[in-house]
Chains A and B, each alone.
Chain A
């Protein structure tokens, strides 16, 4: 009977093919969207794990370039119990690298510069720990830059290369690599150059990056800093995680809803295809019943057909999904994870969809009165 079912699908090749592609796109959509959402979460959490310290910014500022803090406060914060060191930072967007404009807001090219005091850079442990080549900033540096792996790759830079950022020339002395694309898209330069580039007056920086003795106490220390300096907000990676958690789960829900709609359309497609196919073969079912097939036999055959539709659609979906993810991997700022379980879920859903879409047509066909069906 399996062969017979397959033969029936092969009979109207175009329809079967269109249906397989239809389910395939729905399944690919599911695989793509779920993988996407997982990838965003994974990247986000990975990057948070990298940051062990506290970010101190002006209260209410959306992001570091819009935050202005008094550099003198760094000495006061350093006195808070449990604080190891305070690194004043100036950050800004790299609008231009090597004379080439970086077009507006693009996923691929969000490069930024980060100014740090070379004299204090030794105490910094945010990016320095990921140094893979050369050295980090050191006292006396004026035109030195430590660049992230992604920038090194995108602009083909090595130790000793020169790099121009927003019109300022630097010499690459070190390259760091955290493995996370957007973390590796920064150019670390001496703070006084960054001040000029950002146009900040003396004595003002964007934020303080606070290293603590014990990362587990970061939350408590952040609380103390906020108590002492009501004009500042101190956030740990935990705070970011909580803040982003809600956003991420909304994104998750949205992706799931879109994937769900895609799948529902696929299911209705199977239903439609099988209904058409059953209507066309009404007479044939009458004959099968007449020569001794039971109603269950007819039902089984049609469910098998829709099972195969689902299976083929699932396979097509896995292929399309894989291609879509492979395509996206080159363009997206975060690492795309193609988890086998998501692919397996996609295939399973597709088969379930196929069978579910075939149930009603199968039932309808099995209920046909053989003598009436044959006369049609």
Chain B
């Protein structure tokens, strides 16, 4: 379980302080499919980055399975991200020189690529319907294919949670819907938690947890089911 407890984040832009998060509390349980919507500049990406250990909050606690990662140093955070978090980005963020298979394995390169890891990467790509695209580089893939590679990469470490920042932002509606379906399928079949930041409300279903973020404050919109 992930618990955010009165998390604030203050940036300094020159002399002025920007309060990106003004005390956000949130609980994500195993199997939750959470949407966070909000206008740009509302602090939604900041929230996701704090949950994923990409940045530390100014105050408040971030508890992952009871451990407060807000006190972690850079090295601990790196290992935490490598072992517990799966990230999916709006612009895919694949390494252009590597093939789909290699891109999926990228997070594990520092630990060494084992045969079983490689097998897992192949299986993940097959599950994403990319069994025939293993050795293609991002340049040879469509947007939807790239995002599926990115999802496979997010899953290579068997994460506790997948954090997706506008995962459909650069895709057309049909492809976006397909990507969203993939994530729902993974959520259902593996009881894997997802937190998805988006402004595309059309993909949200009644069964999802929905939050709205505005001016650094999080509002629980509804919880159905």
Contacts and interface: CB of A to CB of B under 8 A. Distances in A.
A7 B78 contact: no
B93 A371 contact: no
Contacts of A4: 98, 109
Give me the 9 closest cross-chain CB pairs, A-B, nearest first: A292-B82, A291-B107, A294-B78, A297-B110, A292-B81, A287-B93, A11-B97, A292-B107, A371-B54
Contacts of A254: none
Interface string B13-48: 000000000000000000000000000000000000
Contacts of A7: 97-98
Given A7-B97, A371-B49, A291 B81 contact: yes
B110 A290 contact: no
Of A4, A296, A371, which is in contact with the most chain B CB atoms at under 10 Å from its CB?
A: A4
B93 A293 contact: no
Contacts of B55: 371
Contact of B95 (A1, A287, A294, A370): A287
Nearest to A2: B109
Interface string A1-13: 1001001101100
Nearest to A375: B45
Contacts of B109: 1, 4, 293, 297
B194 interface: no
B79 interface: yes
Nearest to B76: A294
Contacts of A294: 74-75, 78-79, 110
B187 to A, nearest CB: 20
Contact of B106 (A10, A291, A295, A296): A291
Nearest to A10: B97
B91 to A, nearest CB: 9
Interface of A: 1, 4, 7-8, 10-11, 283-284, 287-297, 370-371, 374
A295 B74 contact: yes
A290 B150 CA distance: 13
B153 interface: yes
Contacts of A283: 93
A287 B153 CA distance: 12
Interface of B: 49, 52, 54-55, 74-75, 78-83, 85, 87, 89, 93, 95, 97-98, 106-107, 109-110, 153, 157
B54 A1 contact: no
Contacts of A292: 78-83, 85, 107, 110, 157
A284 B92 CA distance: 11
Contacts, number: 61
Question: Which secondary structure characterizes the binding site on chain B?
Answer: helix
A284 B98 CA distance: 12
A1 B108 CA distance: 10
Nearest to B80: A292
Contacts of A1: 109-110
Nearest to B106: A291
Given A11-B97, A371-B54, A288 B89 contact: no
B25 to A, nearest CB: 22
Contacts of B78: 289, 292-295, 297
Given A294-B75, A371-B55, 14 more contacts: A1-B110, A4-B109, A11-B97, A284-B95, A291-B82, A291-B107, A292-B85, A293-B78, A293-B107, A294-B78, A294-B79, A295-B78, A296-B75, A297-B110
Contacts of B85: 292
A8 B97 contact: yes
A290 to B, nearest CB: 6
Nearest to B154: A291
17 contacts: A4-B98, A10-B97, A287-B89, A288-B95, A290-B52, A290-B54, A292-B78, A292-B80, A292-B81, A292-B82, A292-B110, A294-B74, A294-B75, A295-B74, A296-B75, A297-B110, A371-B54
Nearest to B110: A297
B87 to A, nearest CB: 6
A300 to B, nearest CB: 8
B75 A291 contact: no
Contacts of B75: 294-296
A374 B54 CA distance: 11
B97 to A, nearest CB: 5
Nearest to A289: B78
Nearest to A296: B75
Contacts of A8: 97
Contacts of A289: 78
A293 B89 CA distance: 17
B15 to A, nearest CB: 19
A10 B93 CA distance: 20
A8 B96 CA distance: 10
Contacts of A11: 97
